[in-house]
Structures are given as C-alpha cells and as structure tokens.
Chains A and B, each alone.
Chain A
Amino acid sequence: MKLWHISLIAIAATMTSRDSVAQSDAGAGRPTTIPPWVEVAELASFDAEPFPADKSRAPSLAEWTAAPRVRLTRTPQRIGCSAKRVREWVKIRCDEQTAGLRLIAGSTDGIALWVPEPFGDNVFGTVGRFSEIVFPVRQGDQRVFEIIRFEMGDWEGWGTTSTYLVEEEWLSGGAPQIAMMSR
C-alpha cells in the first residue's frame, strides 16, 4: 500500500486538468493513438448479426482475439475505446489510463470488469493502463457502466472523475442499443 501512495502522486504530476485536455486537441506533447484511430463508421454495427436466442458461455481469449471490431450505437469521437462481439457477448476495451469501472445499474449476470494493476518498478507508467468491460446482450437488459479516469483538479489537487457511461438497453420489442456517452 505504501508503494501506491508514491505511485499515484507521481501520476498526478503528469496529468493535465480536464479543461486543458479537452482543449489541447492538436495534441501538443500527447502521444498519438496507437493503433491508429479507425473510423468507427467503417465498422459493422454490433447488431448486424442477429443475437442467439440461447445463453452461451463467455468467450475464450482466443475467440476475443479472433473477433472483428464492431461499431456501437454511439461512441464519442476520438476516444481510445473499441468494441468486439462474439455471439451475444460484447467487450469494450479502452486503451486509456483508467482509475476504475463500475456497474451502476442492471444485472451483474456474466459481466466482467477489468483494469490491470501496476507492475514492476514502473508503477507510474503502468497503473490502470487500459480497461475492459465484458457483458452479455440479452432481451430485457438495462445496464449502465461507469468508466472513471484520473484527473487533475483546479484547486484541490488531483483525483478521479467519472468520464464515460456505457448504456446497454434491449427493451422488449425494440432493438438492442449500446451507447458510450461522455460525461
């Protein structure tokens, strides 16, 4: 735990405030996104293939690796997140430094939330370096996930802020929707 203190303070030193992040679109000093941003519009929609009627087991790592990227109902522009689908399962991965994930509302059935912890000596460079949310998409779903990031405050140091919501909804009679929304 001691180690954590040191590492998190170190991160703080490199964070910019929310406003300046938002305004520095030109990206002075910010790393370019790797892999390069793929226009989500070119991808097939996540619901292009019909959803299976029966429940299946969560996909294996090999299945995820082989799956193509899909487009969600909505994704904010220029965010480092991508989505994949295998059967009724969807995985949203964000290659952004992440301070945590929460399922705010809806069924926990089958969901998995993952943020890697720091490793080795380079705690500061490796803490929360990406995040993954996995969930099944089934009729009747209404889920809300929250993605939390580190942020520099204006007057009270630094901390975390809730940055995106992932809303998954499949009301009976309707089509499934998965929207990522900026907070």
Chain B
Amino acid sequence: MIVRTPASDALFIADEDHRVVHAISLPAEVKPKRADFTAPGAPAQVVVVGNRLLVTVRQIGQGGGALLVLDRSGLDLKEAARIDLPVDAWGVSVTPDDKIALVTSAWSHQLSAIDLATSKVLWSVDTAREPRGIAVLPGADGASGYRAYVSHLVGSDVTRVDFGASGAPTLKRVELPAAPLLSPANTKLPASLGYSVVASPRGDRAYFPRVALGALGPSDWFGVGGVDVLSTDHDVPRAPRRSARATAHFADLVSKEMEQQSGRWLDGANPVMSARVALSQPRATVYRRKSNTLLVVDEGRNDLVELDALAMAPNLVSARTYGLSKKEDQVLHLPEHGAAPQGVALSEDEDEAYVFCRATYDVMIIKLSPGDGYYSVPPPIVVGLGVEQDKLHAGRALFYSATVGDVSGGLACAGCHPEGRDDGHTWHEVSFKNGDHKFTNFIAGTDLSSFSSRWGDIEMEGTGGVGYARQTPIIAGRLKAAGPYGWHGESATLEARLLAGFGLHRWEGGTDNKSMMGMYARELLPFVREGLTPPPRVERALTDEEQKGRALFESPTTLCATCHVPASEYTDRNVAPLKAFPARAGFSEDPVKGFKTPSLLHVGGSPPYLHDGRFDTLEGLIEYNQDRMGKTAQLSPDERKALIAFLRTL
C-alpha cells in the first residue's frame, strides 16, 4: 500500500478511496513535493521494480482487475503497460530477480503470475477464499524454482506455491494453526484478517499476522491478534500446540494461595498464558533486519507494533508499541492524524517507518528505537496527502477504530466486516449474568476458562452450548433498505442495528452514554451505506447454465424468488419461520425460530452459509435443503448445478 523507492527519493501510496497513487518526495519532514496519478480503478497495492512501479487495480469499470506497470520520472508516473487479471487484483510481489510478478485476486480467489519482460500473464490458478498477501522467498531464480506463500483473509490454512520461469505452478495448502499456544486444548482455531505475510531475510521463516478467533486470554472476547510463524524448511509451524494440561511446579500452589487474597488478576495465576501484545486488526507488515523484528500496523488501535521475529510466537514476548494517532477532535474524540493505518514501509537505514493511514489520509513518520531497552518515542511526524476530507470522514474513522469505547471493545467493524465483507466466522451471541447485571455480547469461541480464571464464575443463558449462532454477513452493498436488520430481523432500522451492535461488540454489553452512541451511529450510517465498496462483479451475459439456473430460481416450483426478491437485493426482508435444524455443536438452541431472509448478493463468495454457518458450500446447502426453504427436493443433479451456478453470479 506504501513503498519507498530504492534511492529513497520518494514514497508512493495506493489510495483506493480516491483511486489515486500519491507520490511524496523524501525527505518528507520539511515541505515535501507531492504528485497524484489517477488510476483507472481502485489501486490496492504498489511495489517498486527498478524505475517502474507495479500497481494492482481491483476492477476497471465493470470488467476485471489489472496490474499497471508505471514508468516513473521523479514523482510523475506514466502508464507503460496494463495487464488484465482476474477481478479484485490486490496483493503483488516480485521474484528476487525481478522477472515475475505474482498477484492475488481476492474476491475471485485467483493467483496469477506475470512475466515482467513481456507483460504477459503466465498463469492464473484458483486458490482458497480471499488470497491477499504474498511473500516470495529470497535467493531463488527461474532455474532453481521460486517459492512463495500466500495469506488468506479468512481461514487459518495458508497457501504455498512453487513455480519456475515457465510451466504450471504447484499449489499446496499448508496447515498453520492460529495461535496454538493460546488455543483451547485439542482445538484448531479459525483465523481472520490475514492481509499480509512476510518472509525472513534468509527465507527460513514466513510470518502471518492475523487474528486467532477464540484464542484464550482473560479479556480476549474475540480472540487474539498475533503473528503465526511458519518454518519454511518443512512447512512446520514454529509454535507447538499448548498442552491440554500444563505441567507445573509450585505455580498452582502459589496461585491458589493468592486467589484467596484476591491476587488472581496477575497473569501468573492464569493457567493460560496471556499475550503480551494483542493486535486488534493486523493489516500490513515489514521485516526490520537490523533488529530481527517485525513491524505490524494495527488498523484498529492506530499502533505500529514491533515484535520479536525470532520468537516462536512473537506476541507472547515483550514488544514495543509506537502510537500513530495525533490530536483528537473535541466532539467525537477521533484522531485528526494517524487513524486506520493500513500500510508500512521502512527507510533505507531502517530507523524510520512510514505508515499510511486510511481514515485521515496521511503518512505518519515514526522514529524507531535504535535497539533493545528503554526508548522514549518522539511524536510521529504528519505528512498530509493533500486530499480533502469528505462527509463520510468520521464514519470511516469509526468503522476502522477499535478504541472508541462507545462503539466497540477492542475490535472494530472492520475487524469482523473487513472491507465491508465478512470474516467467515459464526459468532456466539451470549447473554451473561453477573449478579443483577445482565448483558449480551458476541464472543468468538466456547472456552470460557480464562474469563472465569480472571473474573470468577460466569453464568449465562441457554443450554447445550455457548450462545446463539450468528454468522457474520457481508454488509457492503446490502444496506440500502430502511430495515429490518439482524438475523432475526430484530432491529427495525439500520440505526437501531448499529446501536444494538455497539452493545454486542464489547464486553459488558456497551456503555450507558446514549447521546454519544447516537452521535456515532449517525456518523457510521452514511459510511456503511455509501463508503463501502461491494465485492466486484464482472458485467457479462449469463451462460446457458446460469440462465437455466435463473429460470429455476424464479420459477413457482422452487419459490426462491418469492422470499429472495431480485428487485430488493434478493431478500424480502421478512422473517420466515423455516423448519429449524437442531443447534450446531457448541451453540445453544435459539428460542427464536424465525430468520430474516438474507440478501443473496455476493453469496457465492461468502461461505459458510445460514445464520449458524452450518454449510461450507452452496452444494451442501442445496443438497440438504430438500423442501425446507422453497422446494429443491425435486431438482435433478443438473438443475441443482444450474441453480448454484446462477447463485454464484449474484
């Protein structure tokens, strides 16, 4: 998202919201020069190769994505080549010999290789959902074969790709447990927000910053954001799994003694280690060689966090945090600079970091600590990008912020609805009881042991599991209607749903500051309606099969279109009492049986399905549907295929 040129004379920044690549001259501290290059679509990431820039563009018009090759002279950029790619081109990385560029296309889940000498696509291959970051291992060339790792926004497994100067690539899914040292015993946690990956300078390790949903910690209701490290020699995770029972000496005895003296708050008494740093929304990463540290930007907390790259689990050992935000406005208490950091680059000497911040459209310059030990951080320097703030400004900042207490407790809207899409997770909506105090929260997992070791016994509503199932919906492009919202259609208006959310997204069910909450909801509202870009759809004629599927969808025999009304985002917004499935393992039986017909826009790309995330594929959903929702039992295998093919075009 932000790069420094090798000669250290400029920074280039991909700004999706303004569809511009900004250029800033270096050094930037005093009166830097600026120039803007208008891109043909939203630019996502940028890398420098010699005197050229490579920029991914998510979508051009109603068509596919692209990689732009830009010639550079000073701050000026000129398009030299445009390479068509699958839609939603996002991450880009080049091989160490600068010969091949790899590009991920997020929504269309493709990975493509481009020969930079000829500007030709060598191959595009299908990967798992939402591929994002790419780290090509150093030292390789076309003869020995290249290797790269790809992160995914959703899910804990990562992708490894081996390829050469020509020929087809080999893709492999690599299992990389999310936060295994903080996972409940015998549990493989899901992960989200895997935007980035970096390799160590020797290529022996690959680092995947992301959130382990349901990782344990006394206050970690949504899990823990950290970095999962893969040893690339044999694709082995560096951190082992936590033992089901720790083997302890003395610790438990002492802890027990202390519990009686209200000493339980200190983490030595907690049988589960607590993370030293918990990132809310890790977004971008660079490797700092001179200190063997990772610099990760935390979009939600407005921090740049420096983590030990040699540790098995970098967020479990001591780390350094540099605050990015500066100045607060008096009304909404939002920072005027340094909010929603999304990109980071280092100076040549690695003593400075340049951080692009998306909510305030500026670059913050941070002087990094020269070494170990104590270091008092000078305040960051602000370099504005010269763009005017629009009316969505405050809503945008709120959408990314995890620190506005009236809105959320540690995880922003963007933490569960990244880019307005979804995290692929099914949350637990739990009603807790603490004496007379009752409150309802989302939590990511089902293991409450570290909460109770910190806060005492926990009482909750419901039986058979922990809370009611709430699969995260896509919100971008689906919020046009007045209402109702929520899986049960329980919120009459969007504003009501936002206010309900402010309670659900934090421990203890929100604050009592109704007037601030109202103000925040009114700022967020226009942003979530107008400021989020829906997943891209390529305009094209339907295939024969898809047309057949549409006819089935709209036919009176299947009844699909009676509830999923095409004219209104494929929903009638009514609550339909469908025959209930028994509650999924880990969840309580929801006493409310009716569910609001969800919009089917972009449904092909947002598994799992139904309010409880019970189906991983549309095939599974239709297979088991029978005549529960509409009528599908009568459909032949070909008709089912056609119906699903049509659903994927929505």
Contacts and interface: CB of A to CB of B under 8 A. Distances in A.
A179 B261 contact: no
Contacts of A101: 248-251
Interface stretch (A45-53, A63-71, A145-153): A145-153
B248 A160 contact: no
Interface in A71-130: 74, 77, 98-106, 108, 111, 113-115, 117, 128
Most chain-A CB neighbours within 10 Å: which of B240, B260, B269? Answer: B240
Interface of A: 1, 4-5, 8-9, 22-23, 74, 77, 98-106, 108, 111, 113-115, 117, 128, 131, 142-144, 146, 148-149, 151, 153, 156-162, 165, 167, 169, 171-174, 179, 181-183
A161 B266 contact: yes
Contact of A104 (B181, B252, B254, B258): B181
Interface string B370-390: 001010000000000000000
Interface string B324-353: 000000000000000000000000000000
Contact of B372 (A4, A77, A167): A77
A171 B261 contact: no
Contacts of B268: 99-100, 148-149, 151, 159-162
A131 B250 CA distance: 10
10 contacts: A74-B310, A77-B372, A99-B250, A103-B247, A111-B247, A113-B250, A146-B273, A153-B263, A167-B312, A183-B317
Contacts of B234: 171-173
Contacts of A115: 249-250
B231 A174 contact: yes
A156 B265 CA distance: 8
B269 A160 contact: yes
A143 B239 CA distance: 9
B318 interface: yes
B240 A106 contact: yes
B308 A162 contact: no
Interface in B221-247: 231, 233-234, 236, 238-243, 246-247
Contact of B251 (A100, A144, A165, A174): A100
A182 B240 contact: no
A181 B318 contact: yes
Contacts of B629: none
Interface of B: 180-181, 231, 233-234, 236, 238-243, 246-255, 257-258, 260-269, 273-274, 276, 308, 310-312, 316-318, 372, 374
Contacts of A159: 258, 263-266, 268-269
Contact of B308 (A98, A128, A146, A181): A181
B251 A148 contact: yes
A103 to B, nearest CB: 4
Contacts of B243: 103-106, 108
A113 B248 contact: yes
B266 A113 contact: no
Contact of A99 (B241, B254, B317): B254
A4 B262 contact: no
B178 to A, nearest CB: 15
Contacts of B251: 99-102, 146, 148, 160
Q: Which 3 A-B residue pairings sit nearest by Cβ, starting from the closest?
A: A100-B251, A160-B268, A159-B266
A160 B255 contact: yes
Contacts of B260: 5
A179 to B, nearest CB: 7
Most chain-B CB neighbours within 10 Å: which of A144, A159, A172? Answer: A159
A138 to B, nearest CB: 14
